[in-house]
Structure 1
Amino acid sequence: MVGGDCGTPGNSRLKMLEASFVDFGSIFTEQLHRNYDIGIAGQYVSCNSKYLFKDGLRSGNGGDDSEDLRVFHLNCQGLNSSFNFISEICELSIFQVIGLTETWLNEHNSALLDIPGYIFYHRNRQFRQHGGIGAYIRSDIEVLVRSDLVLFHKMLFEPLILQLRLNPKDVYVVLPYRRPSGSIPAFFDILEEQLDKLPTGSHPFFMLGDFNIDLNDMNSNTPIDFLQLCMSYSLFHTINICTRVTTLTAKLLDNILSNSKFSDPGVIVTDVSDHFGISASFKVCFPRQQGSRLKMSMLPVLNQGNLEKFKQEISNVDWNNKVENLDDINISFQRFYDTLISILSKTCVVNRTRSRKKMPKKPWVSPGLLRCINKKDQLYRDSIRNENDPVCTRVYKNYRYALNKLLRNAKKKYFECKFKDASGNPAKTWKIIKSVISSTDPVLPDKVTTRDGLKSNEPCNALSEHFATIGARYSRTAVASDNDPPLEIFMGTSVDVSMYLRPVTHDEVRKIIFELKSSSAGSDSINLLVLKAVFPSISHILTSFINACFKQGKFPNCLKIARITPVIKGGNKNDLGNYRPISLLPVISRVLEKYINIRIYEHLERHKLLHTNQASKLWNKLCMDIQEIGSLDQFKSDLRVELLGRYAFETD
């Protein structure tokens, strides 16, 4: 069992609900064997679900070596209100797939619900309020959104179909939601048509959601018809106890159906919604994939032990044999680069282990508030066990109301103090804002519109072509103003001295490297900490490489490779013009660029080639002190203010 069961005494309503459904399960299993000649039906239908609590899930094994695909679903009735609970479920690192129905999201708030370690895929309801489906998929799994397979009916059926790129076969995950007021026969027709389009017989397949069909209803044929329809596509239900329990009713509305063998089916009791969460483990036997997302999740683990191993391996390398000559800077630097990355991957990359901390990661939750949260959970369990006692229910609701108010005030005071401490420091302020937004890897739409108005089903290739050509296309359309002064005004006095890139010294290289502040790794996974750690062992060869680049007038090809992240600037996500690229170059590339910049600046400064109006290009100088300006009107004839437009920094 992934988590511990509720362990309630004999008068527990949950235990009674578990026992009450066993009869229906056995009756239905017997009817299936009688009506269908399916030899393996018993091992799927005779499931034994149990009620679990969230704290019992902490004992689950969510390690990376597991071959089980663990799936969770909740009808959250508003992701904004249940976001803290979903975040805590994600922090347990037990589930690879977390499906949600009735997210109640729109285009304005769906971008603010990212969770580190997971990527959020969603489909919002467009024609009216509420509804909506979403899924958090662990970020080391490559996912395709299969909108081409979706059959959508706004009054009956809202599906989200995801294709998980796993080995040995891709896994298909379908998250449907059926409106409770919709026609059930019409729903069966569209569900059958939808399943016809999906590879239920050739790939591992999971359908998890709120079907709004009570499988515990013994007075209707609808549950039998629904399960028979699913069984005709080799899909078997995993949950056989009630998932929506109130003081008056107990219904089984949510379920996970699959064609794979399952284990540990459970219903997670929670008070964030009137539906309980459901979970199960499936034997899909997928080894770790060697895709780009896996490389991103296997960045160097830079603890002291690994760094010492890395430094020791680098110090033992004979660079004279590795790099015989520097006649061709591209070949020689590529050998140096490959050696560095090979040793780094051997000594510093380990399987990532996931935290099992019981203390929540929210810094405003003090130990006292954590005890209050546990107390609230205990009161909720007592209110379920004693559903006939109105005092227990009233005590729980009053305590929950008071606790939610305390949590909101604690969070508000925490961020008030953080912003107060960051007053006057824009960088620190933006860091706090980004921590609140907690954005993760961007999720591109499955279709994008190019500048020419064409539709593309390959957003990555379309964005790459767009970023590579936008500068040239925009420069062709840019028209110079007649009021622009001639370029010669800003050129200054011409000189007959050519620019000379003076060789760098060992001390200069060391100074520049240790003055760099950005620690982000480029496409090579080498960050600044790694470079600083091994600098004593590679300082001589790195200095020789930089001087060879100056002498040959070449920039190594391997240092031109950047990791580009598209960032939405605003507006329609399907429009390529609304994205801007954020490029992360290798750290060594930044070092070489720094020296070229220094040498060019030295030449311009030595020969007085910089115009006085180019003060913004000079180091340690300000264009003007805005506090000294009384009115801008007096500067209209002399001052030209240029606004940074939509395409700033996108042209050469």
Structure 2
Amino acid sequence: MINTAVINDLDTNVSASTSTYVNEPQLCIRYLGDIRHQITVLSQNIRSVRKNLDYLTVFIQKLNFLPDLIILTECWLLDGNTAFNLTNYEQRNSTQYLNKSDGIVIYFRQGLKINISEPSFLDANCLIVELEKAVTVICIYRSPSFKNIDNFLTSLEQLLKNIKGESCFIVGDINIDIKNDTNDTKSDEYLNLTAQYGFIPGHQLPTRGLNCLDHVLVKSRTTTSVVVCRSDISDHDSVIFSINNNKQITLPRPIHLKKVNYVQVTKDLQLTDWSKLYEKTNANKATDEFINIINTIVSKNTELRTIRHSQCILKPWMTASLIRCAEKRDRLHMSVRKNPNDQTLLIDYKKYRNTCNNILQNLKDEYDRKRLLENKDDLRKKWDVLKDICHLNSKNNKKCNKLITENTPQPTHVLNEANNYFSTIGEKLARTILDEVGKTEAELAKNISAQSVKNNSQYSFFFTPTDELEILKIISNLKTRSAAGIDTITNELLKTCKLVLASPITFICNLSLSSGVVPDTFKIANVCPIPKDGDPTDVSNYRPISLLSCISKIVERVVNKRLLDYLESRNLLSENQYGFRAIRSTEDAVTELTNFVSAKLDQGNRCIGVFLDLAKAFDTLSRKILIKKLEALGIRGTPLQWFQSYLTGRKQKVTVDNLSSKIAEVNFGVPQGSVLGPTLFLVYINDLCSLNVRQAKFFTFADDTAVVFYGNSWGSAERLCQQGLQEVFAWLRNNLLTVNTSKTKIICFKISSRTD
């Protein structure tokens, strides 16, 4: 027990705590106070996060609120898996392990400002969470395998000496029994030490069997409410407590879901008179008419549903029936604990528990199986799904967009600045090169001639009209869940109503192709900034992905198929280009490069590979130069006029969390996220692969270019490399492309057994 003399010396301003034991998670919220203004913390010994995270997820779902902080102990992190994602949370793990059961995992709500550090600690794992308003949570897991607590207490005392702040909490599975009637001398030493630094037990209720092993020690001027909740997650109960500090985190806004009655939408579309649309001879007016008809009908048949945060499903495989099953299992478990000698009841409980666990596993397996089937033809996404299933993600969490947060004072201004950056970065890089070469963009475009682009004037490209069968096939292959563009028409709508929409879309597509006009609506992008590595508040560390009209993508697919068929059938694309082409892949590029290097080494040569990275390649592409290159490849007349229309007058806005910037014009580049963009980039960079560089070969995959130089000695190979790179850099300058020197690499190839 705590020494009374120590208690008398405690700060009289340290408030007492209230503690309650409950049998059902739904009851916890009753005893935690107003959680809108408090930090809520869930502490749980999970006995392998990989094994029991799904059961924890079900438990949290039954709480009917999301704890701001989740502390998991005995996580078994030594099994090599550290990425266990939880919806609406970011994750941090301890990294110092003493045995196989060790490890702390902390989940914290997105938007919660915290700092997490890991101090050195003897005979235990420890993470320190620092919250706003001088609140500190010390998270500890101490394995029961350490019988002697001297080292542990020494580390704890050293830690407590350096902790600042008015409110501090020691939380976790300490494996020291601190219940009131314990005779454990270790408990006395532990409680007396913590009491010296102002900590008192927030509860002394049993958390495993009859022992109080999962602690909440409190040093705070405000009352702390602690709830111990019976749990089937492991053999430890859950401990939940609230910190009354008027938290600054804003509870997530209710989710507003639009439920579209597609059955009625289809009926209304079937009854629609499309004659006014078919009378249009202007592609812009026809498109506007189509969008207006669609949005009017969809709006009439859309119901807005508001979902409170407590109703949100943490995992997509979780169902209401699973929650009910878990609740019944918990009631049986409670009955077993009240009647420990009733063997029949125990057998019934175990049977139902196993049934419930099987249902959970089957639901999860079925969900994973469905995801694999949906991505069976996309190896990259299929691999991402497999890594997620096996918890093999290299990063603990998906990066969060932090351009704006709840506390950003002028979010619209930030988005305007971001849009200005994205819309002008390509032009700024290009202008830098123009200043260096002393020429205008138009002058460089005029220099596109037979010497730089193979003259294929004997060929001519024409647009063949599309038909409803082709449009139906394209719509059927659209991804259902892709985001809509600025016109708000979704792929889900197009796929659901494709039979009735195929005809008007075919009309719009053919009108656009025959008139050489791309509708203005198709040229407005809604830019979604995707975080890359680096400071998440720096706009340069985001990749701008353009969300375009879904109708626009259908038209682009029609054009892209015809353009690629033309280029491939006439062998107008270099054989050294591997990106975005049928029957060519990164594997082919790597294989060809490997074979080329191997052959040259076998001939006694030395090889130097230069792997070029182009900065903002899609953004700095010169449209005037691209048009000249298209013309040189036999694209003239109305098709060339169509591509000019596609490239000019493009605009964009940046949208984050339902807030949007002003619309800005984009004068350089092709939109990332478009269908035609990659193919147009192939055309733009095609003549680089045809440069007559002595003793060198090019291998390109979109904006990634490798050049392998070879010579009969290292001196010769190096000299050829320097001369060849001068030609390559000159071509890049004349095409307004910038080399990212920090990401450009050089590799020297040789046979290891051969000496030079």
For the aligned pair, the TM-score class normalised by the smaller chain equals 0.5 to 0.7
1:495 aligns to 2:448 (yes or no):
no
Alpha carbons of structure 1 residues 245 and 52: separation in structure 2 relative to 1, 3 Å: same
Verify the 8 A CA contact 1:63 1:354 in the aligned structure 2: no
Of 361, 364, 376, the match for 1:426: 376
Verify the 8 A CA contact 1:72 1:99 in the aligned structure 2: yes
Q: Note the C-alpha offset of 1:425.
A: 8.3
Which range moves more in the overlay, 510-519 or 273-282? 510-519
1:240 aligns to 2:204 (yes or no):
yes
Q: What is aligned with 2:750?
A: none
Q: Matched residues in 2 for 1:289 and 1:157: separation?
A: 34
Q: Matched residues in 1 for 2:393 and 2:486: separation?
A: 20
Gaps in structure 2 of 5+ consecutive residues: 265-298, 400-424, 427-449, 535-540, 585-594, 600-610, 612-698, 706-756
Q: Note the C-alpha offset of 1:373.
A: 1.9
Q: Matched residues in 1 for 2:484 and 2:32: separation?
A: 29
Q: What is aligned with 2:38?
A: 68
Q: Matched residues in 2 for 1:122 and 1:525: separation?
A: 43
TM-score (norm 2): 0.48
Alpha carbons of structure 1 residues 146 and 419: separation in structure 2 relative to 1, 3 Å: closer
Structure 1 vs Structure 2 CA RMSD: 6.7
1:226-265 map, 5 Å: 226-231=193-198, 237-246=201-210, 250-251=211-212, 253-257=214-218, 259=220, 261-265=222-226
Q: What is aligned with 1:131?
A: 102
Q: Note the C-alpha offset of 1:254.
A: 1.5
Q: Matched residues in 1 for 2:249 and 2:530: separation?
A: 24
Of 542, 559, 568, the match for 2:525: 559
Q: Matched residues in 2 for 1:445 and 1:410: separation?
A: 25
Q: Note the C-alpha offset of 1:281.
A: 1.9
The CA deviation string for residues 122-152 of structure 1, in whole angstroms up to 9 with x for no partner, is 22444432111012223x33455533xx321
Gaps in structure 1 of 5+ consecutive residues: 1-23, 309-342, 447-467, 470-487, 568-573, 575-580, 624-635
Q: Note the C-alpha offset of 1:366.
A: 7.0
Which amino acid letter does the alignment assign opposite residue 457 of structure 2?
A: V
Which amino acid letter does the alignment assign opposite residue 159 of structure 2?
A: L
Q: What is the aligned residue count?
A: 497
Aligned residue for 1:267, secondary structure, equals strand
The CA deviation string for residues 438-482 of structure 1, in whole angstroms up to 9 with x for no partner, is 999953699xxxxxxxxxxxxxxxxxxxxx99xxxxxxxxxxxxx
Q: What is aligned with 2:333?
A: 377
Q: What is aligned with 1:102?
A: 74
Q: What is aligned with 1:282?
A: 243
Q: Note the C-alpha offset of 1:52.
A: 1.0
Q: Matched residues in 2 for 1:351 and 1:402: separation?
A: 31
Verify the 8 A CA contact 1:115 1:439 in the aligned structure 2: no
Q: Note the C-alpha offset of 1:269.
A: 2.2
The CA deviation string for residues 577-618 of structure 1, in whole angstroms up to 9 with x for no partner, is xxxx9978343166556645543543564685357999x999
Which amino acid letter does the alignment assign opposite residue 161 of structure 1?
A: I
Q: Note the C-alpha offset of 1:244.
A: 3.4
Verify the 8 A CA contact 2:6 2:192 in the aligned structure 1: no
Alpha carbons of structure 1 residues 562 and 510: separation in structure 2 relative to 1, 3 Å: farther
Which range moves more in the overlay, 80-89 or 587-596? 587-596
Q: Matched residues in 2 for 1:421 and 1:358: separation?
A: 17
Alpha carbons of structure 1 residues 110 and 421: separation in structure 2 relative to 1, 3 Å: closer
Q: Note the C-alpha offset of 1:107.
A: 5.7
1:207-606 map, 5 Å: 207-216=170-179, 217=182, 221-231=188-198, 237-246=201-210, 250-251=211-212, 253-257=214-218, 259=220, 261-289=222-250, 301-304=257-260, 352-355=308-311, 362=318, 373-374=329-330, 376-383=332-339, 391-392=341-342, 396=346, 399-400=349-350, 403-404=353-354, 407-408=357-358, 411=361, 415=365, 426=376, 443=396, 494-495=456-457, 516-521=478-483, 528=490, 559=525, 561-564=527-530, 585-588=545-548, 592=552, 595-596=555-556, 598-599=558-559, 601-603=561-563, 605=565
Verify the 8 A CA contact 1:266 1:278 in the aligned structure 2: yes
Q: Matched residues in 2 for 1:418 and 1:508: separation?
A: 32
Q: What is aligned with 2:721?
A: none
Alpha carbons of structure 1 residues 278 and 584: separation in structure 2 relative to 1, 3 Å: same
Verify the 8 A CA contact 2:44 2:237 in the aligned structure 1: yes
Q: Note the C-alpha offset of 1:159.
A: 1.6
Q: Matched residues in 1 for 2:31 and 2:207: separation?
A: 24
TM-score (norm 1): 0.55
Q: Matched residues in 2 for 1:31 and 1:374: separation?
A: 41
Aligned residue for 1:106, secondary structure, equals helix
Q: Note the C-alpha offset of 1:492.
A: 10
Alpha carbons of structure 1 residues 206 and 559: separation in structure 2 relative to 1, 3 Å: farther
Q: Note the C-alpha offset of 1:376.
A: 3.7
Aligned residue for 1:244, secondary structure, equals coil
Q: Note the C-alpha offset of 1:78.
A: 2.6
Q: What is aligned with 2:641?
A: none
Q: Matched residues in 2 for 1:267 and 1:433: separation?
A: 36
Q: Matched residues in 2 for 1:351 and 1:589: separation?
A: 28
Q: Matched residues in 1 for 2:76 and 2:125: separation?
A: 13
Alpha carbons of structure 1 residues 159 and 595: separation in structure 2 relative to 1, 3 Å: same
Structure number with bigger Rg: 2
The alignment-based identity, stated in percent, is 15
Verify the 8 A CA contact 1:521 1:586 in the aligned structure 2: no
